[in-house]
Amino acid sequence: MVELKLITDFIESIFPPSFAEDFDNIGLLIGRQNKKITKAIICLDCDKNVVKEAIEEGAELIITHHPAIFNPLKKVTDDTDHGEMIVSALENGISIYSAHTNFDSAPGGLTDSVVKELDLIPIGNMEGELGRLCRAPFGETAKTLTERIKEKFGIANLYSTFTKNKSIETVAVCNGGGGGSLVETAKQLKADVYISGDLKHHEVSMLKIDDNIDFIEMRHYDSEIIACEILYKKLDERFMGEVNFKISKVQSNPLIDTNLIK
Amino acid sequence: MVELKLITDFIESIFPPSFAEDFDNIGLLIGRQNKKITKAIICLDCDKNVVKEAIEEGAELIITHHPAIFNPLKKVTDDTDHGEMIVSALENGISIYSAHTNFDSAPGGLTDSVVKELDLIPIGNMEGELGRLCRAPFGETAKTLTERIKEKFGIANLYSTFTKNKSIETVAVCNGGGGGSLVETAKQLKADVYISGDLKHHEVSMLKIDDNIDFIEMRHYDSEIIACEILYKKLDERFMGEVNFKISKVQSNPLIDTNLIK
Amino acid sequence: MVELKLITDFIESIFPPSFAEDFDNIGLLIGRQNKKITKAIICLDCDKNVVKEAIEEGAELIITHHPAIFNPLKKVTDDTDHGEMIVSALENGISIYSAHTNFDSAPGGLTDSVVKELDLIPIGNMEGELGRLCRAPFGETAKTLTERIKEKFGIANLYSTFTKNKSIETVAVCNGGGGGSLVETAKQLKADVYISGDLKHHEVSMLKIDDNIDFIEMRHYDSEIIACEILYKKLDERFMGEVNFKISKVQSNPLIDTNLIK
Amino acid sequence: MVELKLITDFIESIFPPSFAEDFDNIGLLIGRQNKKITKAIICLDCDKNVVKEAIEEGAELIITHHPAIFNPLKKVTDDTDHGEMIVSALENGISIYSAHTNFDSAPGGLTDSVVKELDLIPIGNMEGELGRLCRAPFGETAKTLTERIKEKFGIANLYSTFTKNKSIETVAVCNGGGGGSLVETAKQLKADVYISGDLKHHEVSMLKIDDNIDFIEMRHYDSEIIACEILYKKLDERFMGEVNFKISKVQSNPLIDTNLIK
Amino acid sequence: MVELKLITDFIESIFPPSFAEDFDNIGLLIGRQNKKITKAIICLDCDKNVVKEAIEEGAELIITHHPAIFNPLKKVTDDTDHGEMIVSALENGISIYSAHTNFDSAPGGLTDSVVKELDLIPIGNMEGELGRLCRAPFGETAKTLTERIKEKFGIANLYSTFTKNKSIETVAVCNGGGGGSLVETAKQLKADVYISGDLKHHEVSMLKIDDNIDFIEMRHYDSEIIACEILYKKLDERFMGEVNFKISKVQSNPLIDTNLIK
Amino acid sequence: MVELKLITDFIESIFPPSFAEDFDNIGLLIGRQNKKITKAIICLDCDKNVVKEAIEEGAELIITHHPAIFNPLKKVTDDTDHGEMIVSALENGISIYSAHTNFDSAPGGLTDSVVKELDLIPIGNMEGELGRLCRAPFGETAKTLTERIKEKFGIANLYSTFTKNKSIETVAVCNGGGGGSLVETAKQLKADVYISGDLKHHEVSMLKIDDNIDFIEMRHYDSEIIACEILYKKLDERFMGEVNFKISKVQSNPLIDTNLIK
């Protein structure tokens, strides 16, 4: 059992809030600050089912990647599922803490972990602290890179704009959602490939009709699946014997193969 | 004991939400919608002390005049006194409901009650549904009007821009805060006197240097002191024997005569 | 051989420009208005390869679904692939005409065709002329609906937020990209399912945590694959013997299964 | 008799224009620049009565604290009392000069004078050059501080959020109007008390519900009453024998106790 | 001698303020409202020389076409020539009244007078109440129209985009300054010629390269020279024997042929 | 015959793009970058007639002063004269390059050439890189300066605000269009005369009523007539024997004396 502050101080020492984007909302977002923590749930997105899981597990803390509150609230009632999540957390004495773009962008954070997992060598950032421009390993091709992504992240069907195999030297990576101005940035940086998610059809088409760059779609959830593992390892190592961390079992990719509908 | 919805439906039947200003935030702002209510606290502003009072009294509901949430929230934690109020309400199963500018402006609402209390006859609104332009009783003067305000609202020291007694025919009234564009409106309406609160020095000066209009400062809290009484009477009459309504005892004018410091 | 104007007048008689969204850019976007047309290429997106195909085929006209110019141009030079497309079209006397949101939204247009293909009965629009709210056939379930989508549109891997089979009565459909305010609209309309593409992870998560609505992801290209067929049929029927229409052979889904990299 | 410029140069040497807020309007605002001055009236706010007094006194100059023109003018006619003030000043060859936030904020200006009058020791500014954070004298309490304010500024009824006596170490002071962002600043600076005027009910309530800070309301006019004295002393000392300065006798607090209505 | 109000009421009966553009500033802009008027000066633009002329003539009123105050004022001092104009008018008891776009646009106003002078038949307005679209007299050509303009308005050197004579049916006229959106409007209205002033080179070039429309430059001052005459006639006829109206002798086209420099 | 890039690199070495204003659009705006150039047309504004001239002359390049595209395009079709210009240039393999405010402002560019032509000595810029403040030659007067302008630029009728001859020491010059904030800047710089074009009547009037500054109107086209000569000389000298440069014969002042209508 430790003080909540000990846990949040540790997270902020490795993923400093100064790395968060201006638009972001991070830190302790729900609940009391002075709590004794014996058990904590780690998840990507917190919803009312994760809160239920925390109640059943006897956890006093939930740690999320995506902010538990994003759009500012004018009410805290149970008339929406999001409101229900907050109300039931507070009724049950559960605090919720979020580490989002600071966790993505800080050295050793999620983006660096994705890059490392893919054997890429980072040589710069894409925009501010966001994304990485990387050098590919010697002899890299469209085939070797896409195979490695599928294998390392367990992706069954991976899509790209490649029409034939080709040699690859530089790779831009923005895990999570990398549409908008980042698409143009990837071009400006003269990356051979851009790996990201949440692009619109129009943005993918623009990359396809450009002869100099290709796009590998790593869907938002796929690139962030390792976030919970990373957090778990760092926290478990630091607080072993004091706090019991668990990765949520009720969370899953919001998009599921329709063949699996029971 | 009644369903919460029965109470809120009743309030909204007499003070319809359509009378609320666009900027306002009204309705059930904190807690669960489906609750059985046996006891409720009525107050102007809800703070953590009112929540404490509700807990001690065993109330499941607090009804406020000023919105319990006004600036949208990016966190619901106990790191501010306002956050503490929400967290402790939710931890203790207390819902909070606010009726603000709809309660002010609806026919028979707070503004009309202030006007009636002062023996003025309303002849129109000031802006939209806000404020009332009134006719004064026959023979009204600066002296008779100010004396009546002090007596009816129990105000020890009442200030105005009057320098000598004069006859009064029309009175503009905007209880609570009536600065900004309402000051100019009172002039345009050719009111002999404007009764309101929360004006800045600059606005009072503008009214003073105008020969055609005078200003009687009825400070925000003074004009709203009767709000709790009005709500209490209407709710108690309707739900007598089913719900026990009480006006908060821990609330008071936030500004107290410094002679009373103990 | 017919005048270009005869073709564009026909298209605008069935898909009137008044159905286009304000932000859109439609009509003759590149080339000369007074041309004799003997051959025309139909495609979703025009790039320099489609122009090359038109040159090789001897076509004087390209008809596109997505606007050939979307962001206004400050240059018309060959320094980008998009500029190359325009320059080579003009050098070779090829005109380019786009029918976009008017083709989507007009009665009998692309959205209605998608809806019809899926055996849904339209009962209203989602926003303005955009999208359709539909009634599902009797006995519809998550399983029957997703199976039909896969079969009718030839989609190998279809994803949704369904976690178990359930009965479905109303379906909101917005082919192409239906993120942003349309996500909230689908909820407001109390659709059981929303079928659309180009949603961000965050938007999909919001739909997943809502117990009342599920989301079936029909990716942008998948729902528009039938656009060329529809245009082809209508134009070929009308101008048979006069103009030779062809669907582009060089276009394809910009995202291809990486297993197919040669 | 001296040149007007000699007087304005002197004022700007002690209260440099660079200390004025961006929104402010200061300097010579009405009349001719090259004038011989034998007599000048000093006031807080200039209205048509002060101009009349200047005419009767034979003064060629009026020096004000609040800007004689604040909202930019599209007309200079006598159809308002403010316009009448300007027209009659110009008809009678009277110039009007205003020293506002530069007089407030410059070292030795109004804010510093209020602070000094209250025996507080300034240790920093509140925002930019605005307001002062001060250390209270040893042994200060709510009672000693409020008694001193009443005595030094002759305030009969002084109001605060104090409910009981307590020890005070730091005091934030913003004479005149200190609502808006300054309220939050006072909290951030961890002042035990904030002394200011022109706050809205909502702002006072926020300070009351905060356990760490209290508010003493020093109404706008009360804290500025010494402004004329300060200006008078400095100008009289410098120009004695050359210019005859007088504090306006027709100005007064725009808000007067209604008991005094004659 | 008449009351000023009688004169301004008359002007506003023939050129109602409701015809003024939103951006405009019209009516009594400087001085007192209740004055006896024996003499008045009429001019296009009021400057300090016109005020001097009024003083010398013993006039109590100046009537201008262009607003005597256009950009709102934060000072009324003599530190600019514009300020000097206002200060000296007020010092000498002179009021200034402006009739601008209401005088331009009202039926029978300046625009209609220019059109009539040129023997054109108005068939509609250009934008709102601004400008007129006209039919040219039978047999009109570039030559006949330009000759008539030169003759009727006494213009020595008149410039246009015509390169050869051609037949003219419709003419758009916007006296004064007609650049900005009006240039495009003239094209949309399919006018054969646009007569206006204050266009930028870029706007003139756009009209020149358009085969369907030509531009005749009637410089701002040239088209408004008749404004004073029109006002004079209407006012003199109405107030003959009561008020002595004079057109300013010190005003002139601000641009003078450099051959005339003495 | 040289590569197009050799020509554009040369132009940008003498008139660096960094001197262009932010709003401007310069460089290669139409056509292909990799071309062999044997002949080029130089003009102020490119229209469809200049393109026709280039076709007849066998030129592969047009160099313009004003941008060939200024307002961004949503279409490139022949439905406007401007669109016709672009379409016919591209159909005929003609590229168009524009050097605008960089050519104006760079040292030795158009502004400096105008200043030198007038025997003025530049002593600073007006705003950023725009315009020049100059010292006039010893003994300069309104008469000597205006005579020299007429003679050096062949202007028959030159207009100014001078009413009598006077001695001149400093001159502000902004060739082309110098309205807007530059008018105020000329005053602030205490120039005795401002020489510029494209001012509105209102702006000229403001300069006329100011006793300290006069205005000489050098109309936009008149001050830029030497632009083609300057470009011609620099390009002809550099590429003599390799590229044949010609100044367009079909361009002319868009405003022509109406006496010359044939």
Chains A and C: 3 or more CB pairs within 8 Å of each other: yes
| Report field, pTM of the whole predicted structure over 0.90 | no
Provide mean pLDDT across the span B170-199: 95
Tell me the percentage of chain E whose pLDDT exceeds 90.
86
Chain B residues with CB-CB distance to A55 below 8 A: none
Yes or no: say if E66 and E98 are a contact pair by the CB < 8 Å rule: yes
Reported as a single tens digit per residue, the pLDDT across E187-220 is 999 999 999 999 999 899 889 888 899 999 999 9
Exposure letters A38-52 (e unless 16+ CB within 10 A, then b): eebbbbbbbbbbbbe
Report d(CA A214, CA A168) in Å as an integer.
10
Q: What is the pLDDT of residue B7?
A: 98
Shortest CA gap D33–chain E (Å)? 7
| Residues of B engaging A, defined by a Cβ cutoff of 8 Å | 25, 27-33, 69, 72-79, 86-87, 90-91, 93, 95
- Pairwise CB contact (< 8 Å): E160 & F207: no
* Tokens 């079909």, located at residue: F250
Interface mutation target, options B48, B146, B202, chain D, most CBs of D under 10 Å? B202
C-alpha of B191 from chain center: 22
Average pLDDT over residues C54-68: 97
The answer to whether chain C touches chain F by having 3 or more C-beta pairs less than 8 angstroms apart is yes
Summarize the confidence of residues E46-55 as an average pLDDT: 96
E33 to D95: CB separation less than 8 angstroms, yes or no:
no
Confidence of residue E105 (pLDDT cuts 50, 70, 90): very high
3-state secondary structure of B134: strand
Six-digit token string for D223:
């804290």
Chain F partners within 8 Å of C78 (Cβ): 31-33
For tokens 């400008």, the residue is E131
Give the per-residue pLDDT at B42. Answer: 97
- Are C120 and C171 within 8 A, CB to CB? yes
Closest approach of chain F CAs to the CA of C123, in angstroms?
35
Rounded-to-5 percentages of helix, strand, coil across chain E: 40, 25, 40
Give the residue ranges of chain D where pLDDT is below 70.
none
What's CA D105's distance to the chain center, in Å? 10
Cβ of A161 within 8 Å of Cβ of C255? The answer is yes
pLDDT at A253: 83
Q: Is E135 exposed, middle or buried (0-12, 13-18, 19+ CB in 10 A)?
A: middle
Q: Which of B35, B69, B76, B86 has the highest number of chain A CBs within 10 A, making it the mutation to test binding with A?
A: B76
Q: At what angle do helices D4-14 and D227-239 cross, to 10 degrees?
A: 120
* Beta strands C27-31 and F76-77, pairing class: parallel
- For chains C and F, CB pairs below 8 A equal 79
Q: Given this model, what pLDDT does residue C249 score? A: 94
Chains that touch E (3 or more CB pairs under 8 A): D, F
Q: Is the pLDDT of residue F213 over 90?
A: yes
Q: Nearest C-alpha of chain C: how many angstroms from F48? A: 14
The interface pTM score, or ipTM, of the predicted complex is: 0.89
Does F37 score more than 90 pLDDT?
yes
Distance from CA of E175 to the nearest CA of F (A): 12
Share of chain C above pLDDT 70, in %: 100
**D246 three-state secondary structure:** strand
What is the average pLDDT score of chain A? 94
Q: What are phi and psi of A226, to 5 degrees?
A: -85, -5
Please determine, for residue E101, whether its predicted confidence score (pLDDT) is greater than 90: yes
Question: Residues A206-222: what's their mean pLDDT?
Answer: 91
- Closest by Cβ to B177, choosing from D66, D200, D209: D200
Which chain D residues touch B66 with a CB distance below 8 Å? 202, 205
Chains that touch D (3 or more CB pairs under 8 A): B, E
Residue of A nearest to C211 (CA): A81
Q: What's the rounded Cα separation, in Å, for the pair B70 and B86? A: 13
Q: What is the CB-side half-sphere exposure of residue B44 using CA atoms within 13 A?
A: 21
Which candidate in E77, E85, E98 is best for mutational testing of the D interface (most D CBs within 10 A)? E77
B chain contacts of residue D256, beta-carbon cutoff 8 Å:
159-163
Q: Do chains E and B touch (3 or more CB pairs under 8 A)?
A: no
SS3 of residue F12 by DSSP: helix
Closest CA–CA distance from residue E17 to any residue of chain D (Å): 16
pLDDT for residue F262: 83
Nearest CA in chain D to B223: D201
The reported pLDDT for the residue numbered C243 is 97
Q: Mean pLDDT, to the nearest integer, of C105-127?
A: 96
Residue E6: which pLDDT band, with cuts at 50, 70 and 90?
very high
Q: In this complex, which of C31, C74, C79 lies closest to F72 when CB atoms are compared?
A: C74
pLDDT at C225: 81
State residue A182 phi and psi, 5-degree precision: -65, -30
Q: Which chains touch F (3 or more CB pairs under 8 A)?
A: C, E
DSSP B18: G
Q: Does A touch E (3+ CB pairs < 8 Å)?
A: no
Tell me what pLDDT residue A163 has: 85
Residue C83 has pLDDT above 90, yes or no: yes
pLDDT at B101: 95
What was the pLDDT predicted at B202?
87
E75–D74 C-beta distance less than 8 A:
no
Chain E residues whose CB is inside 8 A of the F82 CB are: 206, 209
- For the stretch A75-104, pLDDT in tens is 999 998 899 999 999 999 999 999 999 999
Distance from CA of F169 to the nearest CA of C (A): 43
Distance, CA of D207 to CA of D183 (rounded, Å): 8
* Distance, CA of A11 to CA of E119 (rounded, Å): 84
Asked whether the predicted pLDDT for residue A191 surpasses 90, the reply is yes
What tokens does B190 get?
A: 């050719």
Closest-CA residue of E relative to D74 is E72
Rounded Cα gap, residues C206 and C219, in angstroms: 18
pLDDT at C147 over 90: yes
Query: Shortest CB distance from E254 goes to which of F70, F204, F256?
Result: F204
Interface size between A and B, measured as CB pairs under 8 A: 80
Beta-carbon separation of E77 and D25 below 8 A: no
Chain C residue at shortest CA distance from A49: C209
State pLDDT tens for residues F139-190: 999 999 999 999 999 998 899 999 889 999 999 999 999 999 999 999 999 9
Phi, psi (5° rounding) for residue F102? -70, -40
Nearest to D204 by CA among D223, D224, D186: D186
pLDDT at A257: 85
What was the pLDDT predicted at E190?
Answer: 96
- Please give the Cα distance from D148 to D243 (Å, whole number): 35
Average per-residue pLDDT in chain F? 94
How would residue F92 be classed by pLDDT, with cut points 50, 70 and 90? very high
Chain D positions touching B85 (Cβ under 8 A) are: 209
What's the rounded mean pLDDT across residues E101-110? 95
C-alpha separations of A102 from A9, A111, A256, A258, F221 in Å: 14, 10, 28, 34, 57
Q: Kind of pairing, strands F95-98 and F61-64? A: parallel
Pairwise CA distance, residues F232 & F99, whole Å: 13
| CA E191 – CA D135 distance, rounded (Å) | 77
pLDDT digits (tens, 9 = 90+) for E237-251: 999 999 999 999 998
Beta carbons of B82 and D209 less than 8 Å apart: yes
Q: What is the mean pLDDT of residues A195-203?
A: 93
Q: How many Å apart are CA E195 and CA E189, to the nearest integer? A: 13
- Going edge to edge, which strands form the sheet with D61-64? D244-247, D39-43, D61-64, D95-98, D27-31, E76-77
Contact F164/E198, CB-based, under 8 Å? Answer: no
Dihedrals phi, psi of F129, to nearest 5 degrees: -95, 0
Asked if the Cβ–Cβ distance from B76 to A93 is below 8 Å, we say: no
Contact (CB<8Å) C31/F73: no
How many C-beta atoms lie closer than 10 Å to residue F138's C-beta?
A: 6
pLDDT for F124: 95
pLDDT band at C183 (very low <50, low <70, confident <90, very high): very high
User: B88-144, pLDDT tens digit by residue?
Assistant: 999 999 999 999 999 999 999 999 999 999 999 999 999 998 999 999 999 999 999
Q: Do C221 and A201 touch (CB under 8 A)?
A: yes
CB contact under 8 A, C254 and A200: no
Please provide the average confidence, as pLDDT, over all residues in chain E: 94
Chains E and C touch (3+ CB pairs under 8 A): no
**E142-175 residue pLDDT tens:** 999 999 999 999 998 899 999 889 999 999 999 9
| pLDDT at residue F257, rounded to an integer | 87
- Is F72 close to C76, i.e. CB distance below 8 A? no
User: Which pLDDT band holds residue B211 (cuts at 50, 70, 90)?
Assistant: confident
Which candidate, A77, A29, A61, places its Cα nearest to that of B90?
A77
For A70, which residue in chain B has the nearest alpha carbon? B74
Mean pLDDT of C37-57: 96
F29·C75 Cβ contact <8 A: yes
Query: Looking at chain A, which residue has its C-alpha nearest residue B31?
Result: A77
Q: Tokens in use for C98?
A: 């786009």
**Side-chain half-sphere of A35: how many Cα atoms within 13 Å?**
27
pLDDT of B258 reads 85
Six token digits for residue E246: 């004079």
The pLDDT of residue B185 is above 90: yes
Q: Which residues of B touch A32 (CB under 8 A)?
A: 77-78, 87
